[in-house]
C-alpha cells in the first residue's frame, strides 16, 4: 500500500482533485519525463566527453578519436535538442490540457448552478476565474512538474556522488538543508496569501470593466467618465502594489537561499581544507566534492522558486474549487418524475417565498386549471415576477408547495419541468448570434418555415426584413439598433416556437406602442388557447381576455375575479383601473 495522500492533513480534497486531473495525463507526463532524462543524461555525457577530448585528442594525439569525438558531440547535442523540444512540447500539452479540462469543468458547474448564484456573483469575477485563475494553474503544473522532476533527479544524483566521496563531510553539508527549508516554507505561505489577493484584485478589475463597458451609455449620460477613470486607476494602483508585494516575497527567497548556500560552501572549505591540510583527504577528492556541493545547491535554490510557483497555483486552485465545490440550491430529486407533455394544472398550495430575509410572497393559494389564462396585476414590487419565477424553479418555495398535476415540482425532473414552460421574461435578453438562431433558441429543431411563422406571429417578421441580412443578421451587428419593442417581439417569437403547454408572459409587451401591442396581443391570444397561461400585465387594457384576474399587493393575492366583478367591488383593482383610466383621460 502506498501513502494515502488524503490522510495528510494539509492536503485538502481539492488538491487531490487537482492531482487526479494531472494524473489523467500520466502517459504524456511519462513521455515528458523520458525527455527530461535524455536532457539530464546528455548534459552529463557532454561533460564526460571533455575527458577523452583532452586526454586522447590533445595529449595522446589520437587521430581516430579526432574523428570520433566531434561526431559523438554532434549526436549528443542533437539528442539533447530533441529532448528539450520534446520536454517543452509535452509539458505544455499537459498544462494546456489541464486548463482546458478545468475550464470545461468550471463552466459545466457554473451553468448548472441556480439563478441565485448568478445574483450573488458578479459576471466579471466569474469570467476572471475561468480566464485568468485557470492560467495560473497551468504555470504551476508545467513548471512545477518539470522543475521538480529535473531538480529532484539532479539532487539525487549529486547526493550519491558526495556521499560516496566523503560521507561525514557530506552529512555536515546537509545540515544546512533543513535550515534552508524554513525560509522556503515561510515565504511560500506569504506568496500564496498575496497571490490570492492579486487574483481577487484582477477579478474585481474585470468585473469593473464589464460593468462600465456594458453600461457605458449611462457613464456618458451622467458625464461620469472622469469618475470612472479615477476608479479604474485606483484599481490598477492597488493591483500594482499587490503584484510588487508578491514580487518582494518571491524574490526574497533567492538571496536567502544564495546566502545559506554560501554558508554551506564556506563551511565545507573551512572544515574540508583543515582535513586536507591535516592529510585526511587528497586535494583531488576534496575539489570534486566541493564542485558537487556547489552544483547541488543550484537545484535546491531552484526548488525554492518552484515552491513559490506552487503556492501561486494553489491560491488559484482554492479560488477555482471554491466555485466547483458550491452546491446548487435547486436540487434534482433522486428519483425524479418525468413530466409528460400535455395540458397541466398548476397549483400553489400555501406558498410563501423569501429572498434571504425579505418575505416576498405570503400564503399564496392558487389553482390554475389547464387551458386557463390568469392575469396578475398590481403595483411594481408586489411580487408578480417572483411568483412566476417559482414555476420553472428559478427559485424554490420557502414554505408550502407548488404542484403540477398534483406532483410537487421539487419531485419532478428539472429539465422535464422546464420543457413544459415557455417564458417571456421582463427583460428582453438576446444572445449575440443571428436573429434566426435567437428565435430557434426555443426549439433547435425548428425548420426555416417554423421560424418565419413564429416571427410573423410575433409581428417581428416585417422589421426583420429590414435588417441587412434579414434573419441571418447578427444581433451584435445591429449594435443596439433594436428597440425595446423589437427585442420583446423576438423574445416572443422565441417563446412561441417552443410550443410549450405552460406559458408565462412577464410584461412581455410593456415596451411596445399601443398599436403594435394590439397586434402582438392578438397573436398571443391565439397562442394562449389550450395552454395554462400566466400573464403579468402592466396595462389593464390588455387583459380583457383573461379568465381570471389576480391582484397582488405586497406578496398577497388581495382580489380575484373577472374584470367587471373587480371593478364593481371598488377595491384595489378599481384603484389601479382608475389610475390608468385617469391617465388616459388626461391625454
Ligand atoms: N433577487 C432578489 N433578491 C432580493 N430581493 C428581490 C430579488 N428580486 C426581487 N426582489 C424583491 O422582491 C420584491 C418583489 O419583486 P418582484 O417579484 O420583481 O415584483 P413585481 O414583478 O411585482 O414588480 C421586491 O421588493 C423586490 O425588491
Ligand atoms: Mg416584475
Judgement on whether residues 348 and 482 belong to the same structural domain of the protein? no
Report the alpha-carbon distance of residue 9 to residue 7 in Å, rounded. Answer: 6
* Boundary-marking domain end, from 499, 523, 548: 499
User: Which residue intervals of 215-282 are DSSP H helices?
Assistant: 216-221, 225-277
Judgement on whether residues 245 and 365 belong to the same structural domain of the protein? no
CB distance 32 to 94 below 8 Å: yes
Q: What are the cell numbers at 444?
A: 433547435
CB distance 440 to 469 below 8 Å: no
Q: Which ligand gives the minimal distance to the CA of 550?
A: 1
What burial class does residue 184 get, using C-beta atoms within 10 Å of its C-beta: 0-12 exposed, 13-18 middle, 19+ buried? buried
Judgement on whether residues 308 and 216 belong to the same structural domain of the protein? yes
Report the alpha-carbon distance of residue 563 to residue 571 in Å, rounded. Answer: 12
Instruction: Tell me which DSSP letter residue 337 carries.
Output: B
Judgement on whether residues 182 and 292 belong to the same structural domain of the protein? yes
CATH number, domain with residue 227: 1.20.1560.10
* Confidence at residue 3, expressed as pLDDT on a 0 to 100 scale: 46
Residue of 472, 471, 424 lying closest to 452 (CA atoms):
471
* Confidence at residue 349, expressed as pLDDT on a 0 to 100 scale: 94
The rounded Cα 529 to chain-centroid distance in angstroms is 42
Q: Which residues of the chain have pLDDT under 50?
A: 1-3, 5-7, 583-587
Judgement on whether residues 493 and 537 belong to the same structural domain of the protein? no
Q: Whose CA is nearest to atom 21 of ligand 1?
A: 385
Q: Is residue 306 included in any domain, yes or no?
A: yes
Q: Is residue 49 included in any domain, yes or no?
A: no
* Confidence at residue 227, expressed as pLDDT on a 0 to 100 scale: 95
Report the alpha-carbon distance of residue 100 to residue 486 in Å, rounded. Answer: 38
First to last CA, the chain: 86
CB distance 569 to 581 below 8 Å: no
Q: Whose CA is nearest to atom 14 of ligand 1?
A: 383
The ligand 1 atom at the shortest distance from the C-alpha of residue 119 is: 1
Q: Indicate the pairing of strand 502-506 with strand 421-424.
A: parallel
Per-residue model confidence as pLDDT tens digits over 299-327: 777 877 888 888 899 899 999 999 999 99
Q: Nearest-5° angle of CA 368, CA 372, CA 378?
A: 70
CB distance 339 to 417 below 8 Å: yes
Judgement on whether residues 173 and 254 belong to the same structural domain of the protein? yes
Q: How many domains are contained in the chain?
A: 3
The ligand 1 atom at the shortest distance from the C-alpha of residue 387 is: 17
Which of 353, 379, 381 is the best mutation target for the ligand 1 pocket, counting ligand atoms within 8 Å of the beta carbon and taking the most?
A: 381
The ligand 1 atom at the shortest distance from the C-alpha of residue 386 is: 17
Q: Which ligand gives the minimal distance to the CA of 426?
A: 2
* Confidence at residue 583, expressed as pLDDT on a 0 to 100 scale: 47
* Confidence at residue 7, expressed as pLDDT on a 0 to 100 scale: 47
Q: Is residue 8 included in any domain, yes or no?
A: no
Instruction: Tell me which DSSP letter residue 467 carries.
Output: S
Which of 361, 377, 385, 556 is the best mutation target for the ligand 1 pocket, counting ligand atoms within 8 Å of the beta carbon and taking the most?
A: 385
Report the alpha-carbon distance of residue 229 to residue 240 in Å, rounded. Answer: 16
**Distance from residue 391's CA to the centre of ligand 1 (Å):** 16
Judgement on whether residues 394 and 449 belong to the same structural domain of the protein? no
For residue 492, give its domain range: 424-499
Judgement on whether residues 204 and 273 belong to the same structural domain of the protein? yes
Q: Is residue 149 included in any domain, yes or no?
A: no
Q: Is residue 201 included in any domain, yes or no?
A: yes
Q: What are the cell numbers at 479?
A: 449594435
- Ligand 1 pocket: which residues have CB below 6 Å? 119, 355, 358, 360, 380-386
Q: What are the cell numbers at 159?
A: 547526493
* Confidence at residue 55, expressed as pLDDT on a 0 to 100 scale: 75
**Distance from residue 114's CA to the centre of ligand 2 (Å):** 19
Q: Is residue 73 included in any domain, yes or no?
A: no
Judgement on whether residues 206 and 294 belong to the same structural domain of the protein? yes
* Boundary-marking domain end, from 457, 475, 499: 499
Q: Whose CA is nearest to atom 16 of ligand 1?
A: 383
CATH number, domain with residue 475: 3.40.50.300
Judgement on whether residues 274 and 313 belong to the same structural domain of the protein? yes
* Boundary-marking domain end, from 480, 499, 518: 499
Judgement on whether residues 485 and 507 belong to the same structural domain of the protein? no
* Confidence at residue 9, expressed as pLDDT on a 0 to 100 scale: 54
DSSP labels, 317-360: HHHHHHHHTPPPSSPPPSSPBPPPSS---EEEEEEEEEETTEEE
Judgement on whether residues 480 and 509 belong to the same structural domain of the protein? no
Q: Whose CA is nearest to atom 18 of ligand 1?
A: 385
**Distance from residue 500's CA to the centre of ligand 1 (Å):** 26
Residue of 253, 407, 239, 268 lying closest to 337 (CA atoms):
407
Q: Is residue 534 included in any domain, yes or no?
A: yes
The rounded Cα 298 to chain-centroid distance in angstroms is 38
Q: Is residue 398 included in any domain, yes or no?
A: yes
Q: Whose CA is nearest to atom 2 of ligand 1?
A: 355
How many other β-carbons are positioned within 10 Å of the β-carbon of residue 70?
Answer: 12
* Confidence at residue 111, expressed as pLDDT on a 0 to 100 scale: 93
* Confidence at residue 384, expressed as pLDDT on a 0 to 100 scale: 94
CB distance 533 to 549 below 8 Å: no
Amino acid at each position: 500500500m502506498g501513502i494515502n495522500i488524503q490522510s495528510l492533513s494539509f492536503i485538502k480534497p481539492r488538491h487531490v482533485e487537482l492531482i487526479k486531473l494531472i494524473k489523467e495525463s500520466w502517459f504524456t507526463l511519462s513521455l515528458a519525463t523520458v525527455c527530461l532524462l535524455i536532457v539530464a543524461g546528455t548534459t552529463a555525457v557532454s561533460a564526460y566527453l571533455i575527458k577523452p577530448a583532452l586526454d586522447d585528442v590533445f595529449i595522446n594525439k589520437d587521430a581516430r578519436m579526432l574523428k570520433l569525438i566531434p561526431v559523438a558531440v554532434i549526436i549528443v547535442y542533437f539528442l539533447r535538442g530533441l529532448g528539450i523540444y520534446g520536454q517543452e512540447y509535452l509539458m505544455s500539452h499537459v498544462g494546456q490540457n489541464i486548463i482546458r479540462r478545468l475550464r470545461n469543468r468550471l463552466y459545466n458547474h457554473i451553468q448548472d448552478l441556480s439563478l441565485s448564484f448568478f445574483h450573488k456573483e458578479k459576471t466579471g469575477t466569474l469570467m476572471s476565474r475561468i480566464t485568468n485563475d485557470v492560467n495560473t494553474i497551468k504555470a504551476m503544473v508545467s513548471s512545477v512538474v518539470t522543475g521538480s522532476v529535473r531538480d529532484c533527479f539532479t539532487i539525487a544524483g549529486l547526493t550519491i556522488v558526495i556521499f560516496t566521496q566523503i560521507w561525514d563531510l557530506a552529512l555536515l553539508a546537509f545540515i544546512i538543508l533543513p535550515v534552508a527549508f524554513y525560509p522556503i516554507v515561510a515565504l511560500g505561505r506569504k506568496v500564496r496569501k498575496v497571490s490570492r489577493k492579486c487574483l481577487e484584485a484582477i477579478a474585481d478589475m474585470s468585473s469593473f470593466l464589464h460593468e462600465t463597458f456594458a453600461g457605458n451609455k449611462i457613464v456618458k449620460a451622467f458625464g461620469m467618465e472622469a469618475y470612472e477613470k479615477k476608479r479604474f486607476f485606483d484599481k490598477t494602483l492597488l493591483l500594482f502594489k499587490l503584484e510588487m508585494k508578491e514580487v518582494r516575497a518571491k524574490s526574497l527567497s533567492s538571496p536567502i537561499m544564495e546566502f545559506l548556500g554560501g554558508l554551506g560552501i564556506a563551511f565545507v572549505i573551512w572544515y574540508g581544507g583543515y582535513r586536507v591540510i591535516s592529510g585526511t583527504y587528497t586535494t583531488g577528492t576534496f575539489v570534486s566534492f566541493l564542485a558537487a556541493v556547489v552544483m547541488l545547491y543550484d537545484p535546491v535554490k531552484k526548488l525554492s522558486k518552484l515552491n513559490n510557483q506552487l503556492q501561486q497555483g494553489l491560491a488559484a486552485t482554492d479560488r477555482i474549487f471554491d466555485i466547483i465545490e458550491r452546491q446548487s440550491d435547486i436540487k434534482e430529486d433522486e428519483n425524479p418524475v418525468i413530466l409528460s407533455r400535455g395540458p397541466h394544472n398548476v397549483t400553489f398550495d400555501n406558498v410563501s417565498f423569501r429572498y434571504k430575509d425579505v418575505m416576498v410572497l405570503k400564503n399564496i393559494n392558487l389553482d390554475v386549471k389547464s387551458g386557463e389564462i390568469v392575469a396578475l396585476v398590481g403595483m411594481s414590487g408586489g411580487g408578480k415576477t417572483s411568483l412566476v419565477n417559482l414555476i420553472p424553479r428559478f427559485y424554490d418555495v420557502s414554505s408550502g408547495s407548488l404542484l403540477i398535476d398534483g406532483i410537487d415540482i421539487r419531485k419532478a425532473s428539472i429539465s422535464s419541468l422546464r420543457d413544459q414552460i415557455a417564458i417571456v421574461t421582463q427583460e428582453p435578453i438576446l444572445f449575440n448570434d443571428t436573429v434566426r438562431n435567437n428565435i430557434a433558441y426555443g426549439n433547435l429543431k425548428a425548420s426555416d418555415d417554423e421560424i418565419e411563422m413564429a416571427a410573423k406571429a410575433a409581428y417581428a417578421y416585417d422589421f426583420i426584413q429590414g435588417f441587412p441580412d434579414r434573419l441571418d443578421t447578427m444581433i451584435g451587428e445591429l449594435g443596439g439598433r433594436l428597440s425595446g419593442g423589437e427585442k420583446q417581439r423576438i423574445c416572443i417569437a422565441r417563446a412561441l416556437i417552443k410550443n410549450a403547454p405552460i406559458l408565462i408572459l412577464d410584461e412581455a409587451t410593456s415596451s411596445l406602442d399601443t398599436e403594435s401591442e394590439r397586434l402582438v396581443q392578438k397573436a398571443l391570444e391565439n397562442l394562449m388557447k389550450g395552454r395554462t397561461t400566466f400573464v403579468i400585465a402592466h396595462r389593464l387594457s390588455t387583459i380583457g381576455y383573461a379568465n381570471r384576474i389576480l391582484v397582488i399587493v405586497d406578496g398577497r393575492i388581495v382580489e380575484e375575479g373577472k374584470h367587471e366583478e373587480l371593478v364593481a367591488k371598488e377595491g384595489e383593482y378599481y384603484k389601479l383601473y382608475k389610475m390608468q383610466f385617469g391617465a388616459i383621460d388626461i391625454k
